[in-house]
Structure 1
Amino acid sequence: MPLRRVLLMASSMRGGGSELQTAMLARHLDRERFDVHLYLTQAVGDLLSTIPDDVTIHHPPESFPPRMLDRIPGGMLKRQAEWFRDLVQRAEVDVIYDRTFHMTLIAGHPIVHRGSATNRCPRVSTIVSPPDVALPLVEKRFVWLKRQRLAQAYRRSAAVVTVSEAARQSAIRYYGLPESLVKTIRNPIDLDAIRDAAGADPPGREPEDSLRLVVVGRMTEEKGHATLLSAIGILAENWPEQLPTLHFRLIGDGPLRGKLESRWKDMVLAAGPKDAIHRVEFAGAIQPACSEIAAADGLVLPSHFEGLPNVVLEAFALQTPVIATRAGGAVELQRSPDEPTCHWADPGDPASLATAIREFAEQADQRKLHIANADRLIRENHDLRSAIDQISDLLGRVGA
């Protein structure tokens, strides 16, 4: 039986959750069934080193020759789609796997689907966050137009995968998709790879009378760093002397980093040295962040929305307890109240997050229970082989 040529898509290999999942798929798809190709808008990022040598990587030029139509809304997207259409034909692609809004806008563009039926390549599209929240917050401009175009693109897909049930229900409502088109396949976790990346003996830390809490994520509005700083301010007002102080280590970069650092400096100055009992350290981008998570006493996820957060799955794999907001599909990382996996807070609510962090500091035994429940959850619900088999089935079946 001839190999099926699959073209995976990602914006880059810089290390976001979708990029991690795409790289994982590139490594684990069965080479007896698939000839794996990878489209990147930009061929950059630390994850490039994890892509196997037998994966053919394609990327458009850094810039296209200018033309007048580029200035109208959607003009540059059309240029990207034209280049992508030619790539699909030139590489004789059998099936496309597009993930994230922008990849779907390119692969699902009408210009890619024009022509005879033999030139139309089936697609499996993946939605990683509840779009009713994510699209307006992430895209900002021309949201109504992008929503319309994405709805059309998803309807042209052979199958749509969502990473959580919350994302599935949101996609069906927001885009008006038929329920039969949309299937949930939860993000898997590669336990061996995560633990290898963290190291057999994760780096320790200097002894200190504090709990070190790590926050991993790009510093953008939706990741909730500003909410976290507000919560830290609340915690400083009435922190019990018998509890260890908190050392927050923020891993990541992004457009809000300068503003967040300035705000924290202002908070410290306003409090004075006596009342500035907790520490915040802006550590910058670290790839991979597994060793940081493994060495921490806990991970904080202050996000305003999530599809199914990879960083929490990584913390579960590394047996690092978690404080998380009930954002989108994150709540699906706990099966029932009887099997708690995290200390939970409401998204965008500094007081709720402060309460969850204080409970975390107070309840060492509860943290141990969370670790045990989380380990069981990822082994039963986020098995790598099961997820790869489900995605492979779709990629092998659609359009065949």
Structure 2
Amino acid sequence: MGYVGGLQPYKGLADLATALESADADCDLIVAGDGPERTHLEQIFGETATFLGSVPYEQIPSLYHEFDAFVLPSHTEGLPRVILEAQATATPVVATRVGGVPEIVQDGETGLLCDSHRPDQLTTAIDRLATNERDRERLGENGRTAVEEGFSWDELYDRYERALRQVIGWSDER
């Protein structure tokens, strides 16, 4: 499993530690990122996690390729770029239903969603992916396709243009 992001309390990594401890699967976690919770998290994860600290942005895509799955157990988010990055590399995603996450992860199709503050649901998702390579591949490929179709520069430009037209009340009939 892998995580990329800040090491803040609201990122839910303590929930992930609990989930990994309860998992039937023997999973290790790679953590790329830094923050005020690092020392505390290193203590609660123990030997289960490897903390890389800050990783240069240009090295992040190759890191996603090392993960069997990416996990984002946040308690709050906007529209997390890290999920789109993981999906773009066909890395299956486990994330919580917060903020804009359900807009980019369709549960069971392009990733797995769990409720925040629910380590038991994270455990179930982790065990599912750890034991089912076919599911990992399917979710990863579906996530990549979703990013290609919904977040290409052309698609983003078209969405932005449509939104601006709505704001100013512009129609094609003018």
Sort the TM-score into its range (normalised by shorter chain).
0.7 to 0.9
> Aligned in 2, Cα 1:347/1:386: closer, same or farther, shift over 3 Å?
same
User: What is the aligned partner in structure 1 of residue 127 from structure 2?
Assistant: 358
> Aligned in 2, Cα 1:391/1:304: closer, same or farther, shift over 3 Å?
same
Q: How does 1:5-24 map to 2 (within 5 A)?
A: none
Alpha-carbon distance between aligned partners in 2 of 1:384 and 1:361, rounded to the nearest angstrom: 33
User: What is the aligned partner in structure 1 of residue 67 from structure 2?
Assistant: 296
Alpha-carbon distance between aligned partners in 2 of 1:343 and 1:323, rounded to the nearest angstrom: 5
Where in structure 2 are there 5+ consecutive unaligned residues? 169-174
> Aligned in 2, Cα 1:259/1:334: closer, same or farther, shift over 3 Å?
closer
Alpha-carbon distance between aligned partners in 2 of 1:262 and 1:324, rounded to the nearest angstrom: 23
User: What is the aligned partner in structure 1 of residue 171 from structure 2?
Assistant: none
User: What is the aligned partner in structure 1 of residue 10 from structure 2?
Assistant: 222
Matched, 1:232 2:3: no
SS at match of 1:340: coil
User: What is the aligned partner in structure 2 of residue 264 from structure 1?
Assistant: 45
TM-score (norm 2): 0.83
User: What is the aligned partner in structure 1 of residue 78 from structure 2?
Assistant: 307
Cα drift, residue 261 of structure 1: 1.4
RMSD: 2.3
Alpha-carbon distance between aligned partners in 1 of 2:34 and 2:123, rounded to the nearest angstrom: 23
Cα drift, residue 308 of structure 1: 1.7
Greater Cα radius of gyration, structure 1 or 2:
1
Q: For the Cα contact (< 8 Å) 1:304–1:327, is it kept in 2?
A: yes
Alpha-carbon distance between aligned partners in 1 of 2:39 and 2:103, rounded to the nearest angstrom: 33
Percent identity between the two aligned chains: 33
User: What is the aligned partner in structure 2 of residue 342 from structure 1?
Assistant: 111
Aligned residues: 164
Q: How does 1:322-333 map to 2 (within 5 A)?
A: 322-333=93-104
Alpha-carbon distance between aligned partners in 2 of 1:369 and 1:263, rounded to the nearest angstrom: 32
CA-to-aligned-CA distance 1:133-178 (integer Å, 9 cap, x gap): xxxxxxxxxxxxxxxxxxxxxxxxxxxxxxxxxxxxxxxxxxxxxx
CA-to-aligned-CA distance 1:275-329 (integer Å, 9 cap, x gap): xxxx211111102122111222111111112222211111111111111112221
> Aligned in 2, Cα 1:263/1:368: closer, same or farther, shift over 3 Å?
closer
SS at match of 1:246: coil
Alpha-carbon distance between aligned partners in 2 of 1:347 and 1:359, rounded to the nearest angstrom: 18
User: What is the aligned partner in structure 2 of residue 286 from structure 1?
Assistant: 55
Q: For the Cα contact (< 8 Å) 2:68–2:136, is it kept in 1?
A: no
User: What is the aligned partner in structure 2 of residue 162 from structure 1?
Assistant: none
Q: How does 1:177-188 map to 2 (within 5 A)?
A: none
Cα drift, residue 334 of structure 1: 3.6
CA-to-aligned-CA distance 1:243-288 (integer Å, 9 cap, x gap): 5x212001100111111112334xx6xxxxxxxxxx2111111021
Alpha-carbon distance between aligned partners in 2 of 1:389 and 1:253, rounded to the nearest angstrom: 36
- Give the counterpart letter for 1:262 in structure 2: Q
Alpha-carbon distance between aligned partners in 1 of 2:140 and 2:63, rounded to the nearest angstrom: 17
Q: For the Cα contact (< 8 Å) 1:299–1:322, is it kept in 2?
A: yes
Higher relative contact order (CA 8 A, sep 6+): 2
Alpha-carbon distance between aligned partners in 1 of 2:79 and 2:134, rounded to the nearest angstrom: 26
Q: How does 1:94-243 map to 2 (within 5 A)?
A: 213-235=1-23, 239=24
Where in structure 1 are there 5+ consecutive unaligned residues? 1-212, 269-278
User: What is the aligned partner in structure 1 of residue 172 from structure 2?
Assistant: none
Q: For the Cα contact (< 8 Å) 1:343–1:359, is it kept in 2?
A: no
Q: For the Cα contact (< 8 Å) 1:215–1:301, is it kept in 2?
A: yes
Q: 2:148 aligns with which of 379, 388, 392?
A: 379
Q: For the Cα contact (< 8 Å) 1:343–1:360, is it kept in 2?
A: no
> Aligned in 2, Cα 1:257/1:334: closer, same or farther, shift over 3 Å?
closer
TM-score (norm 1): 0.38
Matched, 1:252 2:33: yes
CA-to-aligned-CA distance 1:55-112 (integer Å, 9 cap, x gap): xxxxxxxxxxxxxxxxxxxxxxxxxxxxxxxxxxxxxxxxxxxxxxxxxxxxxxxxxx
CA-to-aligned-CA distance 1:330-368 (integer Å, 9 cap, x gap): 111245x6x711122211111111111011112211112
- Give the counterpart letter for 1:326 in structure 2: R
User: What is the aligned partner in structure 2 of residue 318 from structure 1?
Assistant: 89
SS at match of 2:56: coil
